[in-house]
Structure 1
Amino acid sequence: MKIANAQLWVHDQDEALAFYTRKLGMEVRVDVTIPEMGFRWLTVGPVGQPDVAIVLMAVPGPPVMDAATNEQVRDLMAKGFAGTVFLATDDCRAAFEELTGRGVEFVEEPGERPYGVDSAFRDPSGNHIRLTEVRHPAVA
């Protein structure tokens, strides 16, 4: 087995698509709408890493998710606790400068950690994204 997709809840799939492609430089993998189900399967992924994708999933309403659960998910998203994606880079500070130039707003600037250099930003839906340059991987 291997990981093919990871999912993030998003408020607006078009806004998320623009952020992940235009600001982060990812590519669209799949964008299919099934009108009769009111469902859109939207995935993006890093260029050069075709075997991994992030599903940008709209927070569903009934019957999939009741109103109370929908609100709980949205509250967690607003706090940055509904999902996290970890992005790896060879140079965290250079990637920080590039992404900042594209309009990405960081909540943590690059800083030295025992394992390398680490920073963080959030997507338009509030999802927490870590950008890390690993120099010393954790030892098992």
Structure 2
Amino acid sequence: MEADIIRSLQSCKLTEEEEAVTKVNAEDLAAGVYECEASMYVKIHTTKNLNISIKGFSMGMPKAWNVREMKVERVNFNLFHLFFPSLEDMKRIILGSPWYFENNLLVMQRREIGKNLQDYTCNNPL
């Protein structure tokens, strides 16, 4: 059985597209690192089954925080990934906490390079 699997894997060949190497220049890498550093996960801490609209959240919170061009991605029903235009905006918001959305506490956790989504619990307010 093991030998069959090994033989099968050895016979696999990659396509030209799969073999292609993607080159990342220093500018793209720096932009990716900055995007990570200027983002955080925000969990709407609630025991209620809220019907949270991403449109309502993504329009309401930037106004409350006085941030332009903040990008919001929904991770699940009450967890959002926020991308800020500047690290300074994000730090200002963290320092101004606690924050609430529809009378529910927002629990924030800064994104860190090398961490996976599963590593973020967003259970403890900053």
TM-score by length of 2: 0.30
Q: Which has the higher contact order (CA 8 A, sep 6+)?
A: 2
Larger radius of gyration: 2
- Of Structure 1 and Structure 2, the greater strand share is in 1
TM-score by length of 1: 0.28
